[in-house]
Amino acid sequence: MFIKTNAKRLEALQRDIESAHPYAVAEILQVKIDPGNREYLDWIKLSTQ
């Protein structure tokens, strides 16, 4: 599963995933995106406010 969020919300998202995850260790990875389609990056920014 890919969940898109911003850096400010990452910690809270990780807590929520860990509390609901059935395994002892949830695989949570952060992928930083630097260059990319500007319209898409703007959409992510607006969607995660």
What tens-digit pLDDT sequence spans the chain (49 residues)?
Answer: 889 888 899 999 999 999 998 888 989 999 888 888 999 989 988 988 8
Q: Is residue 35 part of a domain?
A: yes
Q: Is residue 1 part of a domain?
A: no
Q: Is residue 2 part of a domain?
A: no
Q: Is residue 32 part of a domain?
A: yes
Number of separate domains in the chain: 1
Q: Is residue 43 part of a domain?
A: yes
Q: Is residue 23 part of a domain?
A: yes
Domain coverage including residue 33: 7-47
CB 15 within 8 A of CB 28: no
**Nearest-5° angle of CA 36, CA 37, CA 43?**
110
